[in-house]
Chains A and B, each alone.
Chain A
């Protein structure tokens, strides 16, 4: 907000607050930014009239981009904090922007089985790594689609249809994820 006010203080035009607001909004394209822009423009237009009208939209766009990039940096470091705290106590001077925990075959197996246990159509007592979804666990093909979508959600990558129809046991899924993530334990 302060950055925007500093930019706007020298560039105000009293009679055309709507036009530059619209132009700036078109340049930036987010409604929240538009609201704050409109507010700052109304405020500034009362402070001092000026003839430098053309710079206003550009400055507004630059100001908004500046704050968005600031927010993005802030957002990234907020996401990264937990990863740094959990994985290593001595690397506080090193920035690690990867947000996935390191995968091992064991971890993949745990995660796959956990997702399956949480699925309400599967009986957790019958579940094992080698149990077949349709024959042992009594799922049908639509349930299978839901299971594969849950796995895509869990591991963060899309599984194409052709591959999905071959993944009929938890063991298949574990091997598939390990292949995709290049893990060879």
Chain B
């Protein structure tokens, strides 16, 4: 019935995907406030690893939960960086 290409995801999935990408971008932006470049690269690698391990999930609830966890970790990162920069 649908004339869309076969691998088009539903709107909800697309919005979740956009959320995840936004989360990754916000993490990278937050890391710009870290003065130490090695630390920056380390945390970026670690975040990327996390995203990669959860790349395969298909279930909406799982994805939403992981994105929420990611956002909490981002807030934690923000607070730590603020404290470190004083």
A161 to B21, CA, bound (A): 10
Q: Give bound CA distance, A148 to B22, whole Å.
A: 12
6 contacts between A and B (CB under 8 A): A141-B21, A142-B21, A148-B25, A149-B28, A149-B29, A161-B25
Count, chain A residues at interface, CB 8 A: 9
| Smallest CB gap from A159: residue in B | B25
CB distance from B48 to the nearest CB of A (A): 7
Binding site of B, secondary structure by majority: helix, strand, loop or mixed? helix
Expressed in whole angstroms, the Cα–Cα distance for A144 and B24 within the complex equals 11
Q: How many residues of chain B have a CB within 8 Å of chain A?
A: 9
Min Cβ gap A105→B in Å is 27
B binding-site residues for A, Cβ under 8 Å: 17, 21-22, 24-25, 28-29, 48, 51
CA distance A167 to B33 in the complex (A): 25
A146-B28 Cα distance, complex, nearest whole Å? 8
Residue of A nearest to B86 (CB): A31
Q: A161-B22, A161-B25 are in contact. List 11 more A-B contacts (CB 8 A).
A: A141-B17, A141-B21, A142-B21, A142-B48, A142-B51, A145-B21, A145-B25, A145-B28, A148-B25, A164-B25, A165-B21
Nearest CB in chain A to that of B17: its residue: A141
The docked-state distance in angstroms from the alpha carbon of A164 to that of B24 is 13
Q: State the CA gap A149–B48 with chains docked (Å).
A: 14
Which residues of A (117-143) have their CB < 8 Å from a CB of B? 141-142
